[in-house]
Structure 1
Amino acid sequence: MTLEFLVTAFIVVATPGTGAIYTIAMGLMRGRSMSIVAAFGCTLGIVPHMAAAILGLAAVLSSSEKAFMILKLAGIIYLIYMAIDMLRAGGGGGLGKPDTRQSGTGIVMQAILINLLNPKLSLFFLAFLPQFVDPSAEGAVSLMIADSLVFMLMTFVVFAIYGLFAASLRDRVVERPNVLAWIRRVFATAFLAMAAKLALA
């Protein structure tokens, strides 16, 4: 594992995406504990993509337009669903009424789906991991697994920091209905924008 890998991984993780936005949303509306749960779910959501890259399954996605389109369409539909859910008062996305109570399991499952239904993640890891590990080298799979675990740990820590920072602002948000409404709209718009970006992939 090199410094170059750690720096590159940090830049990738710290760049806000759907998972980071969802974790921030949970921090704002559900508090610290649920933001950590969301960060954990988002981290779990990248495991299948890493496994696919390590096992070579991501190559199928990159070579099969039909397979990529099916997964992409599922991701687009789910992001649109998340946007609508964010706007619904009391919606499962946790950005409805401040007293909304969604189970931790529900938040984890939602967070996993957000990352799981993004086919670009599989292609990203297919291109990302081999840059730092020679696939033909002895023990390459073990090295890729080790790098992947570090990437997962980094993802969880960074997302948790995002969520905890958002949670620190929670009291100011839930006491202001107008601010709450605007936050719902901002997150909904963000998810719609990411759905559009995925559609153009």
Structure 2
Amino acid sequence: MTPEFLATSIVVILLPGTGVLYTLTFGLSRGWRASVIAAFGCTLGILPHIGASVVGLAALLHSSALAFQVVKYVGVAYLLYMAWSIAREGGALDVSDESAARHAGTSGARIVANGFLLNILNPKLSLFFLAFLPQFVPATALHPTATMLELGGVFMALTFVVFVGYGAFASAARRYVISRPRVMRWLRRGFAGAFGVLGVRLALAER
């Protein structure tokens, strides 16, 4: 593991994407604990992509137009669903005290599962690992597969730490947002719009 790998990974993770938005959403709407659970789910969603890059499935996704299109449009549909869920009144980004009480019993497993799906349904992430991980595996490595798994594990750990940081920030701002309905309305529109834009970008993405 090199400083270049760590620096590149941190830059990539810090860039706002679906996982960041999902974690921020739960930090604002449900607080610190829910944001940590959301971060955990998004981090777990990286596992299949790491596995795909190790066994060569990412290369198949890259070479097969049909496989890429199927995964892509399922991901697009899910992103647009998230946009709708956030945009509607009383939806995923409802931060009122009444909403917190109403959703207090929501299963942590459901938060994890949705975060997992958000990342697993992103074919660009598999292609990212296809191009990213091999660059940091030395040509002289005796066990390249083990090295790739180690680097993937480090990437996941960094992802979880960064996402928890995003969630902590959102959780700290929660009371400010609750006391200002106008801010909440613009945040809801902004988050819904961001998920919608990500969905459109994925729909237009080429391999």
Q: Is contact 1:29–1:174 with CA below 8 Å preserved after alignment? A: no
In the alignment, does 2:64 pair up with 1:60?
no
Q: Distance in 2 between matches of 1:96 and 1:77?
A: 22
Q: Distance in 2 between matches of 1:183 and 1:97?
A: 11
Deviations 1:31-60 (A, max 9, x none): 111111111011001110111001111011
Q: Distance in 1 between matches of 2:139 and 2:121?
A: 26
1:75-154 to 2 correspondence within 5 Å?
A: 75-91=75-91, 93=92, 95-96=93-94, 98=96, 99-100=99-100, 101=103, 102-134=106-138, 137-154=141-158
Q: Distance in 2 between matches of 1:90 and 1:34?
A: 17
Secondary structure of 1:138's counterpart equals: coil
Q: Is contact 2:75–2:199 with CA below 8 Å preserved after alignment? A: yes
In structure 2, give the amino acid aligned to 1:77.
A
Q: What is the Cα-based RMSD across aligned positions, in Å? A: 1.3
Q: Is contact 2:30–2:95 with CA below 8 Å preserved after alignment? A: no
Deviations 1:51-93 (A, max 9, x none): 10011110110000000000000000000000000012222x3
Structure 1 residue 196, shift from structure 2 partner: 1.1
Q: Distance in 2 between matches of 1:48 and 1:173?
A: 35
Q: Distance in 2 between matches of 1:97 and 1:154?
A: 28
Aligned residues: 199
Q: Distance in 1 between matches of 2:26 and 2:110?
A: 12
Deviations 1:82-113 (A, max 9, x none): 0000012222x3x1252241322111111111
Fraction of identical pairs, as percent: 52
Q: Distance in 2 between matches of 1:79 and 1:65?
A: 21
Structure 1 residue 151, shift from structure 2 partner: 0.3
Note closer, same or farther for the CA distance 1:103–1:88 as it changes in structure 2 (3 Å cut): farther
